[in-house]
Amino acid sequence: MSIDEKQLSKLLYYFAGFDGGVYMSGKNARFVMNMRESNLDYIQWVEKTLETFTSTSTHRVAQRGNRSPLVCLLSKTHPKLTAIRERLYIDDRKVLDPHQLTLLDAEALAIIFMADGGTSVDQRWSKYAEIKLHTKGYSYFDNLALSKAVYEKLGIRTTVNRHGKYYFLRVKSQDIKLFIETVSPHVLPSFSYKLERLAPVMGDDIVCASQGCEEISRND
């Protein structure tokens, strides 16, 4: 897998900032991510990215009850990951780094959506569609900065909302179509269900992820 340094930096920031993490182990940091086994395509993407500069390992993690098993992805320690750690954490609390936000693009937003996004259709309100980014691990000001970056980079408007002591982003209803069109080419097949939920409102031609459109057309 060949990747330039800017692309690698962007992916590491967003993989680590959303669903993954980087943690010190000795002199350097390692990447750690736990994800559902059903999202193997995402796990393999992260794994291949990390393996451009360090080695990784995976192991299966059983969960209680009927919950789906997880796959834990671990990397060896590396100075690149230490540099990410120094920017993304303050007093062991995850933050959004200004440089990270300069790297935001459609692919980065798709990573946030796959990791932390949620979609729903409320049938009670004329099939009202909703997209939320559950960025609740971040402060109000981090969410505000992310909302500003998403608008400045991609023209998509979001609002910062509160749920108890946590904050998250909601995509403005007028910009849901633009959001879908922006992230769809980068949404992996195992996450396409998040877009497909919106089909009753937005239409299959808009909400199917690019990786799944061919299969859908074959089944029609």
The DSSP result for the chain, as a single string, is ----HHHHHHHHHHHHHTTEEEEEETTEEEEEEEEEGGGHHHHHHHHHHHTTTS-EEEEEE--STTPPPEEEEEE--BHHHHHHHHHHEETTEE---HHHHHT--HHHHHHHHHHHEEEEEEGGGSSEEEEEE--TTS-HHHHHHHHHHHHHHH---EEEEEETTEEEEEE-GGGHHHHHHHHGGG--GGGTHHHHTTHHHH-HHHHS-HHHHHHHHHH-
In a domain, 203, yes or no: yes
Q: Over the chain (220 residues), what is each successive 10-residue block's mean pLDDT?
A: 90 96 96 95 98 96 84 97 96 93 98 94 73 93 97 98 92 94 96 89 58 39
179 lies in which domain range?
Answer: 106-219
- Both 114 and 179 in one domain: the answer is yes
What pLDDT is recorded for position 217? Answer: 33
What pLDDT is recorded for position 99? Answer: 95
What pLDDT is recorded for position 153? Answer: 98
Q: Answer with the one of 93, 121, 149 that is the final residue of a domain.
A: 93
What pLDDT is recorded for position 211? Answer: 47
The number of folded domains in the chain is 2
- Both 74 and 121 in one domain: the answer is no
Q: In this structure, what CATH number is given to the domain that contains residue 20?
A: 3.10.28.10
- Both 147 and 76 in one domain: the answer is no
- Both 73 and 125 in one domain: the answer is no
Q: Answer with the one of 63, 93, 123 that is the final residue of a domain.
A: 93
